[in-house]
Structure 1
Amino acid sequence: MARRISAKPAPALPPPLPTREQVLAFVSEAKERVGKREIAKAFGIKGAAKIELKQLLKAIEEEGALERGRGGLASSGRLPPVVLADIRSRDRHGDFLAFPVEWNGEGKPPAIVLQPPRGSRKAARPAPGIGDRALVRVERDGEGYTGCVIKVIGKNRAEIIGVYRAGAQGGRIVPVEKRAQGREILIPPGEEGEARDGDLVSVSLERETRFGLPRGRVRERLGSLGSEKAVSLIALHLHNIPHVFSEATLAEADAVEPATLKGREDWRDRPLLTIDPPDAKDHDDAVMAEADPDPKNPGGFVVTVAIADVSAYVRPGSNLDREALERGNSVYFPDRVVPMLPERISNDLCSLREGEDRPAIAVRMTVAADGVKRGHSVHRVMMRSRAKLSYSQAQAAIDGRPDDATGPLLEPALRPLWAAYAALKTARDRRGPLALDLPERKVLLTPDGQVDRVIVPERLDAHRLIEEFMIQANVAAAETLEAARHVLIYRVHDEPALEKMRVLGEVLASVGVKLPKEGALRPDLFNRILRAVEGTEHATFINEVVLRSQAQAVYAAENLGHFGLNLRRYAHFTSPIRRYADLIVHRALVTACRLGPGGLPDTSVGELAQIGETISAAERRAMAAERETIDRLIAAHLADRIGATFAGQIAGVTRAGLFIKLAETGADGFVPVSQLGADYFRHEEGRHALVGERTGETFRLGDPVEVRLVEAAPVAGALRFELLSEGRTRAGARPGKAPGKKPGGQPFKAAAPGRPPGIRNTGTRHRGSRR
């Protein structure tokens, strides 16, 4: 039998190398950078052919069509999927524009339009801002790029905000931050961009040298300092405060339909009133009170607080919601308000205007004659404000001077309000919240945006009434959500730290006041201290020291109580137009009380904790911006009074010198320690004092002094003084006029960090918003 011989198949030919065009197409379509291994696998390249592929890739790279970076190859001139980028500005739609830190393509690096995070959970991340450096996930969008921030890495420290001063050989930048005063930046010709003399600009440092001025390049023109709102413009950009709504958000606000009576109780016939400052543009709370008809509550009252129902219009996950969270709160400057929500919402649909139907969420509280709350209920209503009154207008009516508006309301509405407040005040006095006496000042501007004068507004019972009603409504909101076992954001204020109490005890001992060492730490302990020094020369000093001993109030998802108000639970509910925390509480009440649509979606404590951190940071940002704007306005106001003398008080003590608060305007300025005299002054932190080693001459927090204005830097909001008063002697005598002191001629020195807060703008009511 013959053997059958089977022929072996011929070996398969290796696949041909891909062409240059095929390689470029593959790399271009890849979602991330690719390496030789991924390309070989895609085209079936094996064995020795990989050497040829490597040579092909090297040739394409050398001709510039491909670029190698961390993670592999990418098309030249194209951004990888994830880049490190600096957020520099906004586009005309209000979206952030980021630019890659590294760029090897031709021309300028491309802009990446940052999209807001999708979904309420992602929105809880800390919001990026101009000047931030971030990891960005990038997608191609036509000829450009869009992106989403993965993580904020930190500030681009090379970016500086300043005023451009044009010159014959280029220009210079005068930084607006106090710590950068005296450190101008040279802008070479051609690097000024679109900046003109006097413009506020953003600058990146290009090079620093050991000798001469550092060099920079103008990145963006932010606005003209010749405008009437120039001073607040500095603060907005310096603190990265969003102030331009995106077109998508504005369109969403414009498309909102007014709420109807459906699903609401009809309260339009109830005598609810708004009581606000005379210049208030939005009215987010209304109040009323009446005698309780229940015979079981003799002398008691039914107190109602109705709050604009923002949750009816701003839904979770919407553009309105995302921008509100990014802003965190409205910011109030003397020359403008930067609202948390567009005016269509804040000043129109959610403003409780006189005589117009408005949706509200109301808390109805039953109060006993001694001010103790017996119960409360939450309602979703349609209301109609009976009248819009100012604080002084309502107070004048109660004091026997009614006008045409308040006369008809005196007996049916105003007197019941004051009677109910008297009962609540009795309970408040028993509760004993912290009672600091540190009056706030208000800056009044001229029509062209200049300082007219600074006043201390009179504190009226009308202010205290509204404040106490709001506090009680906030407590009721927190109690309702706790009873329903629903998550919420609390307004918490922790008790003072032990170290701060130790320092306070040392300060009190220096003025002959003892700090009790036994018993629970309660606000009344501090109130007893304040009463002990009331009317003495130490009163202001001790009020300041007690304030500095307190913790800072913040927003949190876990309840720590509110030490300053002496309350076990407290949440912000009464200002959802201008505080995002209040909007969260509104939504939670809608869900917990089954009041209809617009409630809080399923949210974890962890997610609320992130939101709390975000809006607490936004609040601190707003406070700093408001304070610095006041400083700049006052510095400009005093710039033409160089050499004038002023009465003041030592408002801060550091090793670098003394901060002085002027009695006339409340402005803060600095006296360098080098100007205090020939002695060597030692900073005694526990005593809040500078003490001369040889003479014992002492300058202490709270001491009254006389100073001469030596220098004013309006752009930075900085003032430098010469001290005309002597310090305390070893025996503790009060300072007097120091004979023979002459103005110092040294250049301006930047204020040291840790400056105490200056005067705050009280032009728009805060109603305990920062308690």
Structure 2
Amino acid sequence: MLTQGSRQLPVCITALTAQPDGACIATLQPCDSRIDLPLQARLPSHIPQNPVWCVGCVALAELTPATRDTSATVQLVSNLGSPTAPGMAVTLSILTHALPSIFSKEAEQQAQQAATKPLEAELAHRRDLRALPLITIDDETAEDFDDAIWAERTDTGFHLIVAIADVASYVPAGSTLDREARLRGNSVYLPGHCLPMLPASLSAGACSLKEHQDRLCVYVEFNVSHTGTLVAGTLGRGIMRSAARLTYKQVQHHLDQSPAPPSAALPATLPPDLLPSLAATAAALQSAAIARGETQQEEYGPEPHTITFDAAGTPIAFTPRPLLAAHNLVARSMIAANSFAAQTLQQKGAPGLFRIHPEAGSKHTNRPSNARYALKPARHQGLALDTYTHFTSPIRRYADLVTHRALLATFSQTMQNPKAAAPLSISGPEGCETLHALTEHLHFTERRAASAAQMCQNRFAALYLSPACGTVLQAYVARTTRLGLSLTLTNTGTPSFLFRNAFADDSGMYDDSHPTRTPVPFGASLQKGDVLSVVLKATDPARGTLTLAVPPHAH
């Protein structure tokens, strides 16, 4: 951490010790739970003369590495406040992951200028889809609507259209706006806060497929058989107008045909068979997926939780977020569109980014694998597809924008406007980059975003659970290792760990980190997916960590 240039790091002051010379030594703990490195900083005065610093407060420290002539130094730069202050969980998650949170003035100006782009001239070389009742389905708080869908029944199955925001029309490759989007790699969604990949004038404005507003799009049109086979598909550029902005809960009410509040009523202008047709299309696509061997990683424990905040921004409830049929309705259309886009890239031999998911135990990995980007198409094991890409979320994922540019370059000669496509150009902060370097960068930004979101959730959970210290909670076993148990609390979905010395020594616990299950002589006979009782001993909102213990009666 101290081998390169100086960097800033949020820390929590755990102790202040006055020195004989009148100075003060501050003992510091990094607020990043991935760093267990005790630090010390020398303050120039006693506490009475320097009331800014206090035990328990969060500060921003600047770490300067050692050189040949100087020692490494730690200097406190500013006081950020209390770790329980409203918004501190978000601030710390941004700082600990070095997430870009501000666009340059030039990028903002380019986005605002692009957002004023007149759409009338586009009609000459785009298909007019505005009379088609395409709808968006998303969460209640969403503002960046990437995709819209429509379907109807046919004699042979279904007619499906997936329309995606045409972000490539607004973000020129190689521009400052493009470079800053690439640097971010994706939008980052933290509880109650979003760091968009593109400035709001585009991400929540001109690119977002908002209700009753004309928007440029790239669409995929399919014929789907009754058994879920994609019989034929075409891809083109269009202009659309969303007929309705629906939410997952709203759609679920109508799929269940259950009593719904007035706020969940569908617009009267929507065809009555639209949602049933979309649901039937999704069911057919899902049947085909199951038939081809699609698998999902088995997960133990609750679904991700939604946090409810009070007016001051304090978490007051954690609610499991169930997987609804409405989510699957949208997901099946997106998977079909992504799969078709990948097939088109492969058939055209276009340079692009494919999404692969190696099988566990393959030559790529001998551990449970995660999907990632690659230059060459390969099997996506989880979806049981031979080729796959990301195409349907260009507002929030840079990989999708790359795919759009590659696809537009491949079919531009068949479009009425030859100027609609430009050669694929991948740019980075320091100039032209190879696609290989981009795959590694996007793999990093994807993991960074997931880590930041989880740690932000953990900080809110630590704050929410603070009054429960000393009580017994329930936890799922996520993994067993030689060191102890990886746990997930049932009420907040928060990960934690119980070390082996918390248990008796004759348990027969198993170690899931090895291909063969190896007996481990500690703890109760627990396996992945089991539920056990734990005592919450302490919480640390600054680091988002919990200290757990086994109840006395469990020994």
Relative to the length of structure 2, the TM-score reads 0.85
Contact preservation (8 Å) 2:509, 2:525:
no
Distance in structure 2 (CA, Å) of the matches to 1:593 and 1:224 = 55
1:455 and 2:319 aligned: yes
- How far the C-alpha of 1:215 sits from its partner, in A, is 6.7
In structure 2, runs of 5+ residues without a counterpart are 67-71
In structure 1, runs of 5+ residues without a counterpart are 1-130, 134-153, 208-213, 293-297, 503-548, 726-736, 742-771
1:434 and 2:289 aligned: no
Q: 1:392 to 1:445 in 2, by over 3 A?
A: closer
1:473 and 2:328 aligned: no
- How far the C-alpha of 1:496 sits from its partner, in A, is 1.1
- How far the C-alpha of 1:591 sits from its partner, in A, is 1.0
Q: 1:215 to 1:258 in 2, by over 3 A?
A: closer
- How far the C-alpha of 1:690 sits from its partner, in A, is 6.6
Distance in structure 2 (CA, Å) of the matches to 1:334 and 1:638 = 16
Of stretches 595-604 and 615-624 in structure 1, the one that deviates more from structure 2 is: 595-604
1:676 and 2:503 aligned: yes
Distance in structure 1 (CA, Å) of the matches to 2:359 and 2:297 = 15
Distance in structure 1 (CA, Å) of the matches to 2:364 and 2:197 = 35
Partner secondary structure for residue 178 of structure 1: coil
Q: Which residue of 2 aligns with 1:489?
A: 353
Q: Which residue of 1 aligns with 2:229?
A: 372
Correspondences of 1:113-132 after superposition (within 5 Å): none
Partner secondary structure for residue 411 of structure 1: coil
Q: Which residue of 1 aligns with 2:69?
A: none
1:722 and 2:549 aligned: yes
Distance in structure 2 (CA, Å) of the matches to 1:699 and 1:203 = 44
Contact preservation (8 Å) 2:59, 2:77:
no
Give the counterpart letter for 1:701 in structure 2: K
Distance in structure 1 (CA, Å) of the matches to 2:181 and 2:174 = 11
Q: 1:291 to 1:634 in 2, by over 3 A?
A: same
Distance in structure 2 (CA, Å) of the matches to 1:399 and 1:707 = 38
Paired positions, count: 519
Distance in structure 1 (CA, Å) of the matches to 2:74 and 2:6 = 13
- How far the C-alpha of 1:665 sits from its partner, in A, is 1.8
1:178 and 2:27 aligned: no
Correspondences of 1:108-507 after superposition (within 5 Å): 160-164=9-13, 169-170=23-24, 171-178=26-33, 180=35, 183-189=38-44, 197=54, 198-204=57-63, 216-219=74-77, 225=83, 228-256=86-114, 257-261=116-120, 262=122, 263-292=125-154, 298-400=155-257, 401=259, 404-438=265-299, 439-446=302-309, 447-497=311-361
1:667 and 2:467 aligned: no
Of stretches 302-311 and 162-171 in structure 1, the one that deviates more from structure 2 is: 162-171
Contact preservation (8 Å) 1:635, 1:717:
yes
Give the counterpart letter for 1:331 in structure 2: V
- How far the C-alpha of 1:179 sits from its partner, in A, is 5.1
- How far the C-alpha of 1:705 sits from its partner, in A, is 1.4
Q: Which residue of 2 aligns with 1:544?
A: none
Q: What percent of counterpart residues are identical?
A: 31
- How far the C-alpha of 1:563 sits from its partner, in A, is 0.8
Partner secondary structure for residue 462 of structure 2: helix
- How far the C-alpha of 1:227 sits from its partner, in A, is 5.2
Distance in structure 2 (CA, Å) of the matches to 1:317 and 1:625 = 28
Distance in structure 2 (CA, Å) of the matches to 1:227 and 1:387 = 38
Relative to the length of structure 1, the TM-score reads 0.62
Contact preservation (8 Å) 2:4, 2:65:
no
Contact preservation (8 Å) 1:491, 1:553:
yes
Contact preservation (8 Å) 2:458, 2:494:
yes
Contact preservation (8 Å) 1:229, 1:336:
no
Distance in structure 1 (CA, Å) of the matches to 2:27 and 2:63 = 13
Partner secondary structure for residue 560 of structure 1: coil
Q: 1:551 to 1:627 in 2, by over 3 A?
A: same
Give the counterpart letter for 1:573 in structure 2: F
Q: 1:358 to 1:319 in 2, by over 3 A?
A: same
Of the candidates 365, 369, 372, which is equivalent to residue 554 of structure 1? 372
CA RMSD in angstroms comes to 3.3
Distance in structure 1 (CA, Å) of the matches to 2:387 and 2:530 = 38
Partner secondary structure for residue 373 of structure 2: strand
- How far the C-alpha of 1:435 sits from its partner, in A, is 2.9
- How far the C-alpha of 1:189 sits from its partner, in A, is 1.6
1:691 and 2:520 aligned: yes
- How far the C-alpha of 1:232 sits from its partner, in A, is 1.7
Give the counterpart letter for 2:44 in structure 1: P
Partner secondary structure for residue 255 of structure 1: helix
Partner deviation per Cα, 1:128-187 (whole Å, 9 max, x = no partner): xxx8x9xxxxxxxxxxxxxxxxxxxx7559864313579575344332133555835233
1:601 and 2:435 aligned: no
Give the counterpart letter for 1:657 in structure 2: G
Distance in structure 2 (CA, Å) of the matches to 1:180 and 1:618 = 19
1:712 and 2:525 aligned: no
Q: Which residue of 1 aligns with 2:381?
A: 563
Contact preservation (8 Å) 1:274, 1:283:
yes
Q: Which residue of 2 aligns with 1:79?
A: none
Partner secondary structure for residue 396 of structure 2: coil
Contact preservation (8 Å) 1:484, 1:592:
yes
Q: 1:215 to 1:588 in 2, by over 3 A?
A: closer
- How far the C-alpha of 1:336 sits from its partner, in A, is 0.6
Contact preservation (8 Å) 1:312, 1:598:
no
Q: 1:658 to 1:385 in 2, by over 3 A?
A: same
Distance in structure 1 (CA, Å) of the matches to 2:518 and 2:74 = 41
Partner deviation per Cα, 1:187-219 (whole Å, 9 max, x = no partner): 322799997553430332689xxxxxx972125
Partner deviation per Cα, 1:97-156 (whole Å, 9 max, x = no partner): xxxxxxxxxxxxxxxxxxxxxxxxxxxxxxxxxx8x9xxxxxxxxxxxxxxxxxxxx755
Q: 1:353 to 1:380 in 2, by over 3 A?
A: same
Partner secondary structure for residue 270 of structure 2: helix
- How far the C-alpha of 1:228 sits from its partner, in A, is 2.6
Contact preservation (8 Å) 2:510, 2:519:
yes
Partner secondary structure for residue 315 of structure 1: coil
Q: 1:463 to 1:680 in 2, by over 3 A?
A: closer
Contact preservation (8 Å) 2:83, 2:541:
no
Distance in structure 2 (CA, Å) of the matches to 1:321 and 1:176 = 32
Partner deviation per Cα, 1:593-648 (whole Å, 9 max, x = no partner): 10543544356998112111111111011111111111111111112221100122
Give the counterpart letter for 1:577 in structure 2: I
Give the counterpart letter for 1:415 in structure 2: P
Q: Which protein is bigger by CA-based radius of gyration?
A: 1
Distance in structure 2 (CA, Å) of the matches to 1:688 and 1:448 = 48
Partner secondary structure for residue 269 of structure 1: coil
- How far the C-alpha of 1:220 sits from its partner, in A, is 6.2
Contact preservation (8 Å) 1:264, 1:382:
yes
Distance in structure 2 (CA, Å) of the matches to 1:461 and 1:702 = 24
- How far the C-alpha of 1:676 sits from its partner, in A, is 1.8
Partner deviation per Cα, 1:516-546 (whole Å, 9 max, x = no partner): xxxxxxxxxxxxxxxxxxxxxxxxxxxxxxx
Partner secondary structure for residue 467 of structure 1: helix
Partner deviation per Cα, 1:319-349 (whole Å, 9 max, x = no partner): 1100011000011110211110000010000
Give the counterpart letter for 1:623 in structure 2: A
Partner secondary structure for residue 420 of structure 2: coil
Distance in structure 2 (CA, Å) of the matches to 1:606 and 1:559 = 20
Contact preservation (8 Å) 1:162, 1:203:
no
